[in-house]
Every structure is written in structure tokens, then in C-alpha cells.
């Protein structure tokens, strides 16, 4: 809207509320800085609402305590897939008015749900340093090929994502992935596959470690968050990504139940999903936009590097967080026991 004052008035009328202080909580760090530029400051300008930006580590206990005691001081919070599912089921989040967010077909599948609206798409993919390999790996089967690609490789130290990757490397079709993993035989198959390279694995536990391991030559390839690879590339590192059978998921905005500013919070969420705002976020962080209309605003050379580039997304597998809500505890226990054995 060309006139920011008129825009603020119209948004206030649409919301039926006067300007308010809106507390938005995310995961902090660089992403919070980018969110400030892409979402917070522009929203303040157009709405007249002041955004108070905070951060947390994803602890659902804080949200539950607020909701249970009726002392909700957060209006919008960034959550990952499992927390969104659990929080919605447990009544910790407000149901969203989807009519205010646009049509589902304008977004990456899974962006809109009863209690959440996605703000970014992240992927767990294979990364490697192009200087250190004579030929390029093309999929997870190559990750397991220690003859063709000798050396250590790095995986996230946890069942989630690691078990999926093991089954994909073993030839499970991506459409059948969670069906197979939901069976005892499928779980056994995943661990047998991991046994094959256990002695060659260097585990990572924080998102920064894969790029460090690759840069130092400690490993020849690693799983990694695509935004971390993007950041390394922006700094000139010759890191490459293999998108074949990468795993992708969506971080979402949610509104804690009992927020006094629900309508303004929905205004903010709707604003943050607009292609123009998503463009700023994507260009700065390298995580894909949830809005399919963002692509046409981006440099084609940048689009090719994103997990949401059509050619890359077609090869990807969505993480089934309902599966992990149902099976995660048991599988993590088994994984930890397996990893502890020499």
C-alpha cells in the first residue's frame, strides 16, 4: 500500500482494535535480526503496532505455564513442527482464521494448519566440500559408499532424520518412507544400515558443526541444515548441496491461547507471509519461502540454490512430524542405546 498512514488505519479497522504492543518470540540469533528487517519493522510502519521482539529455545513449558495460569504475555511465537502439533492438540495455541491468510494453494504444502502458519522452509540435506571430492555424490547411497568416497562422514546425533536417511540410502521409496519406519522390521532395517558405516561416522550435535567438520577436512560429507550451507557459500566456501531425497520441514508462527492481541497477531502473521516480506527473509537467510509467489521476485541464480526451487522441492521428502510425535520417544531411546555401543 503506497500510503502507510492509510494502511495503518485500514489494518486497524480490519482488526477491530487500536494499535497495540505485539510481543513476537523467535529463536534469536541471526534469524531474529533478519526477522526484524523483514517482518517486525515493516509491520510496525504499516500497522502502527509496536513489535517487542524476544527469543527462546523452543521450550513448550514456558508457553504451557502462561496458558495454564492465564498470564499470557506472548502474542506470536515461532515453533517447530512437533511442538506445533502437540501444542495445538493440548490447547496451547489459538486456532487461526485461515481466511485471513490466503489460499492454501498459494503456499508450500503444509504451510497452513489449524493453529499455525509457516514462516520458512528448512531442509536437512547432504553437503560436501567440492574441493575435497574428485566426483560429486548424487544421493544417500553415495553417503554409504566408503569405497568410492573414503573418509569420515557426519550425521546428526539423534534418531530423527538419521533413521529416515538410512532407509532412503537402503532403497526405500520416499512415498513409503514413514510406512516402513512405522514397522519393527523397518526400524531394524534402518539400524542395520547405520551399522554399515558406524565406524565412519563423526556425529554432530549443533547446527554449526557440519560446516566446521567439512571445512577442516574432518569429514568428506555431512548432513546439514540448508541455511548453514547457504551462509557458508555466501562467505565464499565451496560447499555443495545434494537435494535428492533431502528432508524438508516448516517452522511456523503460532498464537498462545489467551493472547490479548489475537487479531493484531493474525495481522502480523498474514503480513509476514506476503511475498515481498518473504523475499527479504529468504535472500538474507537462504531458507526457502513458504509463499510460492516469492520465487518470481528472486534472482534466478539464487532460486537455484534454495530448497524450495521447484526442481529441488520435487526431489525432497516432507518430514512427518505426527510420526515423530507418536514414535519419537521410543526411537530416540533405541538410537541412544545403539550409539553408545562401540
Please check whether residues 329 and 208 belong to one and the same domain: yes
pLDDT of 156 > 60? The answer is: yes
| CATH number for position 242 | 3.40.190.10
Please check whether residues 102 and 82 belong to one and the same domain: yes
Please check whether residues 128 and 234 belong to one and the same domain: yes
Please check whether residues 134 and 193 belong to one and the same domain: yes
**Per-residue pLDDT, 15:** 44
With beta carbons less than 8 A apart as the criterion, state whether 215 and 234 touch. no
**Per-residue pLDDT, 284:** 95
pLDDT class of 228 with cuts at 50, 70, 90 = very high
pLDDT of 243 > 90? The answer is: yes
Helices (DSSP H) in the chain: which residue ranges? Answer: 4-15, 29-35, 41-47, 60-69, 81-89, 140-143, 162-169, 177-181, 184-197, 209-216, 226-234, 262-272, 275-285, 300-303, 310-313, 321-340
pLDDT of 29 > 90? The answer is: no
Please check whether residues 197 and 292 belong to one and the same domain: no
At 34-48, the pLDDT tens digits run: 999 999 999 999 999
Mean pLDDT of 231-236: 94
**Per-residue pLDDT, 18:** 61
Mean pLDDT of 293-319: 95
> Across all residues in the chain, what is the average pLDDT?
93
With beta carbons less than 8 A apart as the criterion, state whether 101 and 127 touch. no
pLDDT of 8 > 70? The answer is: no
Determine how many CB atoms are found less than 10 A away from the CB of residue 184.
7
Please check whether residues 198 and 329 belong to one and the same domain: yes
Please check whether residues 107 and 74 belong to one and the same domain: yes
User: What is the number of structural domains in the chain?
Assistant: 2
pLDDT of 272 > 70? The answer is: yes
Please check whether residues 130 and 242 belong to one and the same domain: yes
Please check whether residues 42 and 88 belong to one and the same domain: yes
What global pTM score does this model have?
0.88
Angle, helices 226-234/275-285, rounded to nearest 10 degrees: 70
- Beta-carbon-side half-sphere exposure of residue 144 (alpha carbons within 13 Å): 17
Give the number of residues written for the chain: 342
Query: In the numeric block, which cell numbers belong to residue 34?
Result: 533478519
Question: Which domain range does residue 145 map to?
Answer: 124-247+321-340
Please check whether residues 96 and 187 belong to one and the same domain: no
Plot region of 58 (φ>0 → left; ψ -120 to 50 → alpha; else → beta): left
Please check whether residues 140 and 225 belong to one and the same domain: yes
Q: How far is CA 265 from CA 49, 98, 112, 116, in A?
A: 10, 13, 15, 12
**Per-residue pLDDT, 6:** 42
pLDDT of 276 > 90? The answer is: yes
pLDDT of 3 > 80? The answer is: no
pLDDT of 5 > 70? The answer is: no
Q: How far is CA 45 from CA 50, 71, 165, in A?
A: 9, 28, 44
The rounded distance, in Å, linking the Cα atoms of 142 and 258 is: 50
At 89-136, the pLDDT tens digits run: 999 999 999 899 999 999 999 999 999 999 999 999 999 999 999 899
Mean pLDDT of 189-197: 98
Please check whether residues 111 and 136 belong to one and the same domain: no
Amino acid at each position: 500500500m503506497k500510503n502507510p498512514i492509510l494502511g495503518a488505519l485500514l489494518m486497524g479497522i480490519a482488526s477491530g482494535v487500536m494499535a497495540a504492543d505485539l510481543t513476537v518470540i523467535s529463536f534469536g540469533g541471526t534469524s531474529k535480526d533478519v526477522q526484524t528487517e523483514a517482518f517486525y519493522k515493516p509491520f510496525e510502519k504499516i500497522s502502527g503496532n509496536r513489535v517487542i521482539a524476544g527469543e527462546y529455545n523452543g521450550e513448550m513449558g514456558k508457553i504451557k505455564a502462561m496458558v495454564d495460569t492465564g498470564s499470557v504475555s506472548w502474542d506470536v511465537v515461532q515453533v517447530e513442527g512437533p511442538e506445533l502439533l502437540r501444542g495445538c492438540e493440548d490447547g496451547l495455541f489459538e486456532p487461526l482464521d485461515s481466511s485471513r491468510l490466503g489460499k492454501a494453494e498459494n503456499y508450500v504444502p503444509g504451510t497452513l494448519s489449524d493453529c499455525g502458519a509457516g514462516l520458512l522452509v528448512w531442509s536437512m540435506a547432504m553437503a560436501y566440500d567440492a574441493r575435497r571430492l574428485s566426483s560429486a555424490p548424487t544421493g544417500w547411497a553415495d553417503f554409504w559408499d566408503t569405497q568410492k568416497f573414503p573418509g569420515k562422514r557426519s550425521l546428526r546425533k539423534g534418531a530423527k532424520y538419521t533413521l529416515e536417511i538410512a532407509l532412503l540410502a537402503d532403497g526405500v521409496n520416499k512415498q513409503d518412507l514413514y510406512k516402513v519406519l512405522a514397522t519393527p522390521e523397518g526400524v531394524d532395517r534402518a539400524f542395520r544400515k547405520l551399522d554399515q558405516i558406524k565406524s565412519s561416522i563423526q556425529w554432530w550435535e549443533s547446527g554449526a558443526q557440519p560446516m566446521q567438520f567439512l571445512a577442516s577436512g574432518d569429514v568428506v560429507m555431512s548432513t546439514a541444515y540448508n541455511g548453514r550451507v547457504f551462509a557458508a557459500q555466501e562467505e565464499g566456501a565451496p560447499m555443495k548441496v545434494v537435494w535428492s531425497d533431502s528432508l524438508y520441514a516448516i517452522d511456523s508462527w503460532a498464537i498462545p491461547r489467551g493472547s490479548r492481541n489475537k487479531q493484531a497477531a493474525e495481522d502480523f502473521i498474514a503480513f509476514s507471509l506476503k511475498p515481498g516480506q518473504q523475499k527479504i527473509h529468504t535472500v538474507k537467510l537462504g531458507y526457502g519461502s513458504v509463499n510460492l509467489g516469492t520465487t518470481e521476485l528472486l534472482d534466478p541464480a539464487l532460486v537455484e540454490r534454495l530448497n524450495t526451487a521447484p526442481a529441488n522441492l520435487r526431489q525432497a521428502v516432507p518430514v512427518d512430524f505426527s510420526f515423530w510425535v507418536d514414535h519419537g520417544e521410543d526411537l530416540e531411546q533405541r538410537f541412544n542405546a545403539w550409539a553408545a555401543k562401540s
